[in-house]
Each structure stands twice: as structure tokens, then as C-alpha cells.
A and B are shown apart, each in its own frame.
Chain A
Amino acid sequence: MILVPITYKGGVFRHDEILDLIEDMGGYIIQKHMIAQEVILQALVPKEDIEIIRTVSRPLAGEVKPAPLVGTEIAVVSMSLEIHHLPHASCDVAEYLRTAGAKTNMIGLARGFGKRIGLLSDEERDIINEHDLVIYLFGNFETCIEQKMPTFRRGIRVPIIVCGGPSTEALKKIIDPPVAGYIGNMGRFMHRTKEPEELARLDEVVAEISRVIDQKRISISKDPLSVVPARLMDVILESVPDIHDVTSPIPVVVQMDGVRVKLPYDLYASKIRDIEIESGIHIKDICDLYSSRMRDYILMKVKPFSETGLLV
């Protein structure tokens, strides 16, 4: 069964029918937002059943759209939290990626600015490495990007996408060895992105990220994970009652190869390790649990089939 990421947008009225339908067909609801009279669902559903959801949602005036980034956690790295970089362009990019289904975390570096003085601390590096992908939002000058890039890629194991003021070709030329993706003409700016050409550039960001994410999905599918992270999320939501007391909007964040559980590691890690997923198979058999550098959350990474010999 191939699961496809989608976004469903519709009214509150009878939306529970859509929830039931997605669950009945073996899909997973990753996020559910209720904004006034509107419901936005981000879900993974079986590819062959998308038309059924469309048919059922038509009388409810619901809309089903492919959302390529559902089920990914992306780090949007701003060089600082000063007015120079916020709210534009950092927030504009982070917000636009959310509309494409991604869970984005904005990371403002403590000493990221400057070409010679720019630094990446070990905490920042570890937090970035907990994500599926990182986007660096650089400035407008080639000289600066070229000089500071080695510092910002040191120790980073996840795919890097570079956004900067120079053209994509110029970025490709100055960054050596190459990174996973480039988006040019998207450097520092101080105005809101609302003109058509600027929105088109944000679409380019989504397209470039989707391309890189697809490559990562293909490499994961060559040695599939022992359990689909979305299913792991469902198991945790069912088996750990305390997760429902977490005030965070997304208490369990689905990543491409794991989940982030927003519960304290010391108190809950051993309980989660012992949860039984299927007869005789526990979470500890197919997952590694780490203490996250992001607060005291739990980071779970699913082991591949080649390591466990299990496919749940």
C-alpha cells in the first residue's frame, strides 16, 4: 500500500465522516487544524483511495489537494532573530512550507550573522540534525555565502538547501562541494512576499524541497523502515494517555524516519520502549529512542528492515 500525502480543506460540518473514512481506509491523520468554521487535515492516505475521499467530500464542499511535504519536519534556519531577517524572509518561507504540509521549526542562530564571524554552535547543529532537511536563509552577497558556507555545513548530516540573493547558477558555482538544493533570488528582503513573482519564488522553494524529499523517500524505500512513522504516531497516541495533556498543537511530530514525542525523556522513554505494537513486537525492537536537544523531548528513529528483519 503506497501512502500519499494530502491536505483536506473543508467545513466543520460532518468532517468527522472524513476522519473516519481516512482511518477506515488505512490512512493516518498527521495534523488537524480547526480554524473558525474550517477544518484543515494533513493526512497520509492510500494512493488508490484518493478518489473516494474526493467523492465523499464533494457534498461537504471539501477540497482534497496533494501536499508533498506532509510527514516531514523541516528546519528553517535564520542567521539571527534580529529585524534584519525577521519576519521577512524567514517567516514567509516557514509559513509557506506549512501550507504545503511540512512541520517547520524556525531556528534563529545565536551567532549566525556575518561572513567571518558567523558560527554554528553544537546545540544548533544537533537540533538541525534532528530534522529531515535544513534550509539556510542566507543574505544577498556571493562573497559572504561563499566564505561562511563551510562553517554552516560542518557536522550537518541532513540534506541542506541554500536560499540566497544571487541566482541559482551563481549559488551552484560558489558552493563546493555541492549541497542538496539551491534557490536563488531569495536572499534578505524587508517586505512581505505578496507580489506574484515573489509567490512564484516561494513555489520554487516548495518544488526544490519536494525534489530533495522525494530523493530521500526513494533512498528510504530501498531499505524500508520497520514501521511507518505515521503508524508509530498512532500507537503512541493510543498507548500513552499523558500525550493528550500536552498543550503543544502537535504533540507527536511525524518525520520521514521517525517521530518526535513532546514528553519528557526521563519520565516516559522507558514506558514508550515497552509499548507493544503487534503481538510480541515492542517499540524498543524497531526504534532507537534518544533524548532530543529540543527541550527534553523524546526523539524516536525507526530502524530499517535490514537491521531488524521485521516489517510491522
Chain B
Amino acid sequence: MSTLEYFEVSSTEPVGGALYRRIASTVITDHNLLKVLDKIRIFIDPAVPIFIAVGITRTVPRKITVSDLAGVTYNEQKIILSIADETYLADLLLILWKKYGKDRILQPDRFTIEINSSEENSLETIETLAVADPTESLFKDLIYSLQVICPEGFKVKKQNFHEGRFWFVASENTLPEDVSPLVEEQFRIMEASS
């Protein structure tokens, strides 16, 4: 976990806290969140019971455009995309079908897409066409991994993600209407010690 600037798991039971630190470390690594997380602090009090996780994400990667994943060439009436990275190919095809229609999109092989288009400005617009937004899945992945880390009986949850700051609160009992004092306290401890 050396790449995180701040990583702390504290608990009213130190033995349990240390074990949960290992769990959190495994889950964050398994879900590939090291690249996007900057700071994370988890606090667990099994007597209440409550689980609070607060953290800050790094600068989120920008939107992925066609030029990021394919080489674009123009050949008479056709635009040819030579796919270099297949990760977002399915998303790209869906967007192209919607924009140009299925009859004008051909995929002669796995790594080539041909678009029959006579529009002159298509070449420029297609290069800047947004294919995917990594921030959309980031929040889901982050909250999912915090749900995995938190003790299983803690079924009542509240979470928030705004401008790179996120928090997740869970308990076995009902949560207070306003959890912001709990969250703010953890943010304060995190910011004071980092």
C-alpha cells in the first residue's frame, strides 16, 4: 500500500483493527483502486456498531476519446479506425451505430472498423468523440469495495462522492439522520495526521 499517501484503519478493538487493515489492503489492491485513491481512513467501532470510511481520490482520468484507442485514417468515402486497445471497443461500436447507423459501420476484422461517411468534417469530429468516462465506474467500484471491506452484518449504509472526496458509513442498526458530524470528525483526523 506504499502508493497511498495516507492509509489508516483504526478501531476500538486494536486486534480487529489490524486484521481489517489487511482486509482493506487486499480489497483495494484486488479492485485496482490504488491508482485512483490518494488517502483513505477507516474507523470501526463494533460496540456501537459503526463503520466509517472517508477518503480523497487522485485526479480522475479524463474522458477517453476515439484517438486514445484507435488510429484514424480517411480513404475516399471511408473512415478507417485501426483499433489499438480493445477495452472500450464494445462501447465505441454502440456509439458509432447510434451516430451513423448500423448499415454504415463495417467491421471486416477484429481490429478494424470502417465507417461509410461522406461528411467532410467527420474525420475531426470522430477523433474527439468521447467513448467512455472512467469516473462513472470509479464511484461504483469504490463503494462496492468499501461494502466488501465493511463487516457483513452492517446492512444499513449511506455514501457520498463529491469533487474527489468520498465517505461511506454503515451500521447494523439504524443510522442517524445526519451522519456528517461522524464523517467530518474522520476527515479532520485524516487531514491532521497527513
Q: Measuring CB to CB, which residues of chain A are less than 8 angstroms from any residue of chain B?
A: 79-80, 82-85, 113-118, 139-144, 165-167, 170, 187-191
Among all A-B residue pairs, the 5 with the closest Cβ atoms: A114-B153, A141-B46, A113-B152, A84-B152, A113-B153
Assess whether A189 is in contact with B22, with CB atoms less than 8 Å apart: yes
A-B contact pairs, 27 of them (CB 8 A): A79-B152, A82-B152, A84-B148, A84-B151, A84-B152, A113-B151, A113-B153, A115-B49, A115-B153, A116-B153, A118-B153, A140-B15, A140-B16, A140-B20, A141-B46, A142-B16, A142-B46, A166-B13, A166-B15, A166-B16, A167-B15, A170-B15, A188-B151, A189-B19, A190-B22, A190-B148, A191-B26
Q: Which residue of chain A has its CB nearest to the CB of B22?
A: A189
Question: Do the beta carbons of B30 and A141 come within 8 Å of each other?
Answer: no
CB atoms of A115 and B46 under 8 A apart: yes
Q: Out of A84, A118, A144, A190, name the residue touching B46 (CB < 8 Å).
A: A144
Complex alpha-carbon distance, A118 and B16, angstroms = 19
Q: Smallest distance from the beta carbon of B82 to chain A beta carbons, Å?
A: 39
Task: Report chain A residues within 8 Å CB of B153.
Answer: 113-118, 144
**A contacts with B: majority SS:** loop
Count residues of B near A (Cβ-Cβ below 8 Å).
23
Instruction: Say whether A141 contacts B172, CB under 8 Å.
Output: no
B15-43: CB near A (< 8 Å → 1, else 0) gives 11001101100110010000000000000
* Contact pick for A188, options B23, B30, B49, CB 8 Å: B23
Chain B residues with Cβ under 8 A from A143's Cβ? 13, 46-47, 49
Find chain B residues with CB under 8 A from A115 CB.
46, 49, 153, 172
Question: How far is the CB of B64 from the nearest CB of chain A, in Å?
Answer: 29
Interface check B73, CB cutoff 8 A: no
Q: List, in ascending order, chain B residues with CB within 8 A of A187's CB.
A: 16, 19
